[in-house]
Structure 1
């Protein structure tokens, strides 16, 4: 059996997942945290598990005594009183909160946000170019200067974080991203963010704005409202779940395009022709091929159940391996090949069932805008290092690059549209 969770696995987990799908599709593994959990690797089993109401999202369902002393959930959220969000609760509370929050997160609202996302993408490229001189000219790290700040500033704008406070959010998010394997650093950042969000919610109650936090405060259904604790937790999870997934969508997606020049050329030709249809399909394929979320967030059995021929006991943690399910040859033809024209593509990149990602429309918008803008404005941009030299963050849930060094010809850079 291949080694799981080591450095080679972080760089390319797909061979190990292929082995598991064939030999141990529902496999009990000891995670780096010390927690013992079931890994679900086949598409059919994954889709079943994601929709199975016998698998709870509540961490209190975890039988910690039987499965090791390691913690589950997002580091720091418990200490910062941020547990009451959509990733940690079940119906009927989940149904109520999602119904209230979805009123503040409509497709129409996301579509109206498109010009701002485009403005951010262009501004970040302009800032990247303006800061270059001498030997730096024509080189950049696309994670640090582009993929990371774009979703941070976008979600700050959406939440209603004042411009003068957004760099603080960038710093906190950066600590969460770059210390993902160190709970102390993440926990401190989460507490600082929680304190700020609590203060911001109080300010928005007194001085409402045209923003998501105000909409969360106002959200109601049959007289029900979000409590202050619920509003803070929801604002936090929209930020926490929204920024790193989009960082990885942009970074992993660009990396895949750099490694597959024929597919990149296909996309670039369509963009030059003003046809965005390939772009939409491309983002879906990039989500399938090397998506931002490697494992779906924690689930815990509430009663005995059989999954993939294995008996899961009450309290057992279950982790659905989205990255493996989306490479399952029983569901996807030639799954290890990037095909931007793939038509039959019901990937699980944003989950399935009642916990399907609420922010998926915004993430898709940011991914499409970021990738298209970079390819249009930096023609010929390419990796500046050997692919084997790239380092990947080995967090349990997310999978993304630590950096993405590129080079390009400054003389060919185009202006924003």
Structure 2
């Protein structure tokens, strides 16, 4: 039975740990503050279509493959834990506040359709029939039926339950609430990790999913090719006041004078409003960012002004030079897999990248799982040229 260590208890780490447990590994997850990093702040949009960006073609196959895997991923997880995990297959609306915003969405829809994706342009009247809370002054909208959402906090809890519960498939996992400071090595083989309290944990394989703390892990000079930058984002959570009707049924992804804003409604009345992107090195919440989100959300959905504001936070997402994640082995080193750099796509890419990380940690080569996996992993390889 393989002993596998997973460093990091965010979406990437816990998803990988669950796949590993199901594959029969004994799994130990190591994190000093599990589930409280970028995954805790994430809105949870499974938006392989809406997240398409001009000239970012390389990540598109990863996004589409992972989005396609999500329904089965959710079904398997719900069967394991015995309860729903707040996955909503509702569509997404792209909403332009101005004619220029609608033109930007239209240009993007050309790229999406060229890639075989389905996007339907709506008139203002059609859009407001779908979502009556939209402002009558919007300029247009686009319906993306295949982009859905999940509540990352509920998903994190369910994954933790699936990993650590004595029931379920494979050996029960465990959690060690400690900081990893470095890896243990026997020559060119990683054999475990050093903890901040001086202890050592041994493992047949180590999967490193630590997000922005990756550079703080010593002992892997061969992984200098992993270059991360913190992309901070301010994000808000609000709630429909008691006794009031729901505000939205679908995710609204908008542009207001070119500024992106989204509103993600939960089944329990919560609405997530986000999210700014800034690389100013500031870990706290930006007052200007919060002001921008509140202003732009109300321009698209005036009823947002009547919500109860329940949370304001900021988190750093791990960005990479080419906006592709790092998933793969470290050149010249055995026994270790790196899985980080997911930026704003961590929730979307979780099913695919967790499965691939588990395959690699099991000592298999990508070719064992087919040419498609090998192609995807070549995109995320640590040895790629940005």
- Is the TM-score greater than 0.5? no
TM-score, L = length of structure 2: 0.23
Structure ranking higher in strand proportion? 2
Q: Which has more helix, going by share of residues?
A: 1
TM-score between the two structures when normalised by the length of structure 1: 0.22
